[in-house]
Structure formats: structure tokens, C-alpha cells
Amino acid sequence: MNGYLKKHTEALVKDVGIEVACRVSGKSKATLGRYYSEAPEHAERYMPVDTVAALEAVASHPHVTAALSEIRAIKQNDELANPDGLCAIMIGLSEQYAALMAEFGRSVETNMSENDTRRMLREAMALQKNILALKVYLEGCAD
């Protein structure tokens, strides 16, 4: 898991470009490099969540958030065998989607930034994709 997050952190920085990443995050090139370095002395060093959020707001893809989501799904594979676990996951995804859409509605009224609009739409599309995949899976189990 350690290398997986480091790889996606590096992809995020490279997506936005190191100079832009420095400007957006307020971090130096060296500090950003330590976040994705796989050297033993940096093994426990990860990019702070606020820095991830700032960079993903200007990136073409939410690299770290997607990686964390994938890791969570991998850990939940045991729950997939349990129908109650599937229902809980579906409910959780649906609640996240509803909350995101409510936030989106409020933000539109307050003239949110283009970056926030893009971020929310990416999050909404990712949630829709996961909900649809789970629905297809559940339908396949019912047959």
C-alpha cells in the first residue's frame, strides 16, 4: 500500500507540473519530492490532505483520492460476500452522492469557482460510476 500511494502522489504532482504544484501547495520541490519518495527515510511521509485537495482541484484527475478509494474497496472485498455489507456500501455511496449534489446546489447559488465546479463534477461522476458498478453486481447476484 505504501508504494501505491506514493506512486499516485507522484502522478498528481506530475499531472499539475512541479512548478504549479509548488505554487498551489506552498511547498518546495524538495518537500513535494519527499512525499512520493520511496527512500526508506521518507517511507512514513505522506502529502497532507489539504495539499492533496489543493492539487487535485487543479489536476486533470483526483489521483490520490482515487487511490485511497481503491484501497478502501480492496479492504472491503470481504464485505462484498455479505449482502448486508453490500447494502451498507450502496447506502453510503448514495448518501455521499446526495450530500455532494446538495453542496453543489448551494455552491451554484454562491457562484463557486470553476475549479470547484470541476472537482465536484469529477467526484459526482466517480460516485455514479461506483454506484452503477455495484448495482450491476447486485443484479448479477440476483439472477
Out of 34-43, 67-76, 105-114, pick the least confident. Answer: 67-76
Q: Give the pLDDT score at 2.
A: 65
Q: At what angle do helices 114-142 and 83-109 cross, to 10 degrees?
A: 160
Give the C-alpha separation, 34 to 76, whole Å. 30
| Mean pLDDT calculated for residue range 33-39 | 93
More confident residue, 99 or 19: 19
Q: Give the pLDDT score at 28.
A: 95
Is 3 in contact with 38 (CB distance < 8 Å)?
yes
| Mean pLDDT calculated for residue range 70-84 | 58
Is it the case that residue 111 has pLDDT exceeding 60? yes
pTM of the model: 0.54
Q: At what angle do helices 29-36 and 2-16 cross, to 10 degrees?
A: 150
Is it the case that residue 142 has pLDDT exceeding 80? no
Range among 59-68, 93-102, 116-125 with highest mean pLDDT value = 59-68
Q: What are the residues whose beta carbons fall under 8 Å from the beta carbon of 101, sequence distance 6 or more?
A: 124
Give the C-alpha separation, 124 to 121, whole Å. 5
Q: Give the pLDDT score at 81.
A: 52
Q: In sequence order, what DSSP letters do the residues of 91-112 get, joined into one string?
A: HHHHHHHHHHHHHHHHHHHTT-
